[in-house]
Copies of this chain bind each other. A is one copy, B any other.
């Protein structure tokens, strides 16, 4: 991992111990795919970071400075997973945010190969017991309060399970622990709303534009009755789901079409087309 740490415009050698990211998860982050020196959906990631920072009233670093540092990372290593964390700068002890604190931000770049490769037929997925609580004030943004996802991902150690689907406290299906969910039924795609919990994923945002998608509440039964299911995130693109408990799916023309569209728009994700 390559880590660069900044407080405002100043690069610093070490993470300040009084950072509010550690204290309260008081920050937002973006996880991005770098491919041949380019960050996929670079503007969309920045836009979501700005939206999250606005919701939390976090001061932003200067974008030009972030871009300059990111480009320097990419020159040294053109492919991988870029993570940008933005946390509120230090202030006195207590929850009150110091409005003028310079923002703390970190850039890191990891090899993409750290990720498990997708299985040939698609992901094997389970239902999680951990529910997502309903908090409209935090829904949609990629903030650093992620204990629900940590608990959900901690429910299984079986390497044969790739991901877990999560319900909200009302029993609606929302997402996977680290991906959004799309199901195909009656000729169109559906994905859950993220207005009460969940993250408005950047690849989800692309799919909403590129495919015929309805945003709607989904029950577990509706997911299991779907003709095709995929998960997606900005690092791994579209990931077909092959199995969910006892339910299994073969490849579906609508899914192949979605994969092709994504590969055409973003070559980083063309490897998925080669799977049988």
Chain A interfacial positions (CB closer than 8 Å to B): 1, 3, 5, 13-27, 29, 31, 56-57, 81, 83, 85, 87-88, 92-97, 99, 106, 108, 110, 114, 130-131, 133-135, 137-138, 143-154, 157, 169, 177-178
Q: In terms of DSSP, what is the predominant structure of the interface of chain A?
A: loop
Cα distance A18–B3 in the bound complex, in angstroms? 9
Residues B22 and A144 in contact, CB atoms below 8 Å apart: yes
Query: What is the CB-to-nearest-CB distance from A180 to chain B, in angstroms, rounded to a whole number?
Result: 15
Q: Are the C-beta atoms of B147 and A138 separated by less than 8 Å?
A: yes
Residues of B within 8 A of A135 (CB): 131, 133, 148, 169
Instruction: Tell me which residues across on chain B come within 8 A of A16, comparing CB atoms.
Output: 15
Measured between beta carbons, the chain B residues less than 8 angstroms from A152 are 95
List B contacts of A22 (CB < 8 A): 15, 19, 21-22, 27, 85, 87, 106, 144
Query: Which of B17, B23, B93 meets A146, CB within 8 Å?
Result: B23
A153–B95 touching, CB < 8 Å: yes
Q: Contact at A21–B18, with CB atoms within 8 Å?
A: no
Minimum distance in angstroms from A34 CB to a CB of chain B = 14
* Known contacts A23-B85, A144-B23: A17-B29 contact under CB 8 Å: no
Number of copies: 2
Enumerate chain B residues within 8 angstroms of A153, measured Cβ to Cβ.
94-97
Could you name 6 residue pairs across A and B whose Cβ atoms are closer than 8 Å? A5-B17, A15-B19, A22-B85, A95-B150, A130-B137, A145-B145
Q: Which residues in B have their C-beta under 8 angstroms from that of A83?
A: 93
User: Judging by beta carbons under 8 Å apart, are A93 and B81 in contact?
Assistant: yes
Residue in contact with A17 in the complex, picked from B25, B88, B106, B134, CB distance below 8 Å: B106
Assembled-state Cα–Cα distance A143/B18 (Å): 16
- Which residues does chain B contribute within 8 Å of A93, judged by CB atoms? 31, 81, 83, 110, 114
Measured in the bound complex, the distance between the Cα atoms of B92 and A178 in whole Å is 14
Taking CB atoms, residues of chain B closer than 8 Å to A131 are 135, 137
- B residues less than 8 Å from A21 (CB atoms): 21-23, 25
A24 touches B144 (CB 8 A): yes
> Residues of B contacting A23 with CB < 8 Å?
21, 29, 85, 144, 146
Which residues of B have CB within 8 Å of A13? 14
B25 and A97 within 8 A (CB): no
